[in-house]
Amino acid sequence: MQQEFDNAIQVLKQGGLILYPTDTVWGIGCDATNYEAVKRIYKLKQRKDSKSLICLVNNYSMLERHVDNVPNMAYTILDIAVKPTTIIYDDPAGVAENLIAEDNTLAIRIVKNKFCEKLIRYLKNPIVSTSANISGQPTPKSFKEISDEILKGVDYVVNLQNEKSQSKPSTIIKLSNVGMVKIIRE
């Protein structure tokens, strides 16, 4: 596991793309502050850059560094959530511009997966997380379902295929600074 971690960190620091297990599904990831790396993910997924991606952080402190005003409701939701929950926040900061949606929002999840948490802690930046599929195709439920196109399109595949993931995407909730709460995906 340490060798996989070291290899993944090296690739992330060099602006590369990794394929890695998350607390939900296998994800394609990069340093969320690297514009060119984020651009490569959109190209690999054949996804329009107007459709935003999820960003992973490892704790409340990192969340607060990358969102200008975290609504109090976010802490309540995250404290009671029983499954991985992504929240879309207004006014993100300190990430690549092409990661921010047109309405100046960003989807962020605090990870519970030890491997992801350690990657983020050592990188000292959030990591992009998007499902390991071409846009519009089904989300792979296991490593075996990931297409060759995705496998060949990343710079490093973390060799933890036996890592248990939920095989389901996270819940997504949009929280606005004016108090609006909207469930995007359960």
All structural domains of the chain, each given as residue ranges with its CATH number in brackets, are 2-185 (3.90.870.10)
Written as one string, the DSSP assignment of 88-133 is: EEESB-SS-GGGS-TTSEEEEEE---HHHHHHHHHHTS-EEEEESS
Chain segment 112-161, per-residue pLDDT in tens: 888 899 999 999 999 999 999 999 999 888 889 999 999 999 999 998 76
Whole-number Å distance between alpha carbons of 98 and 62: 19
Q: Which of 11-15, 157-161, 174-178 has the highest mean pLDDT?
A: 11-15
Work out whether the CA dihedral 94, 99, 104, 105 comes out positive or negative: negative
Model confidence at 168: pLDDT above 80:
no
Alpha carbon distance 31, 42 (integer Å): 14
The gap between the terminal CA atoms of the chain, to the nearest Å, is 32
**Per-residue pLDDT tens over the stretch 54-100:** 999 999 999 999 999 999 999 999 999 989 999 999 999 999 999 99
Q: What pTM, to 2 d.p., does this model score?
A: 0.91
**Do 151 and 158 form a contact (C-beta atoms < 8 A)?**
no
